[in-house]
Amino acid sequence: MSYASPDFEAKICPPEQLAGRAAALPRPLVFTNGCFDILHRGHVTYLAQAAALGATMVVALNSDASVKRQGKGDDRPVNALADRLAVMAALGCVSLVTWFDEDTPLQRILDCRPDILVKGGDWPVERIVGATEVKGWGGTVHSIPFIHQKSTTALLEKIRRL
């Protein structure tokens, strides 16, 4: 018996295809980014809130090398990029998921020209990468306050203590 790939895997978009695929999505288009290493309640609540601001949402994930450069620890990411992409693509609120190897997602933002740029509440709007560009083409930028104070780092520390 053979099994087809899950439908959600079609939402995984290589960076070189992002501009064309994002242009075909309904507007307004929301963009957010992050590591999303071990997906938790804080992440999914934030992603649902971000998606609710528009008609479709693109999420860009840090590559494994990009995560390592953030100084989150030698053992991060716990989940490899391919696994993080699959988990993110399986979420109903995500229209496309892509990745970036650079330290910031600016090129992916320029590729898909979102109408709405979103980051979590730990990011003031003036520090959000791409804010100037998105505002420059008439878009809006949002910093969504955290409802659930969760973090992957804290979760990993708890696991290590057990």
Domain hosting 123: range is: 7-161
Residue type, 12: I
Residue 1 lies in a domain: no
How high is the pLDDT of residue 5?
A: 66
Q: Which of 50, 23, 24, 22 is nearest to 36 (CA)?
A: 50
Q: Which of 72, 93, 94, 73 is nearest to 13 (CA)?
A: 94
What is the pLDDT confidence band of residue 48, given thresholds at 50, 70 and 90?
Answer: very high
Residue 68 lies in a domain: yes
- The Cα–Cα gap between 104 and 54 comes to 23
- pTM value? 0.92
How high is the pLDDT of residue 2?
A: 61
Average confidence (pLDDT) over 38-43: 90
Residue 71 lies in a domain: yes
Residue 65 lies in a domain: yes
Provide the number of structural domains found in the chain: 1
CATH of the domain at 50: 3.40.50.620
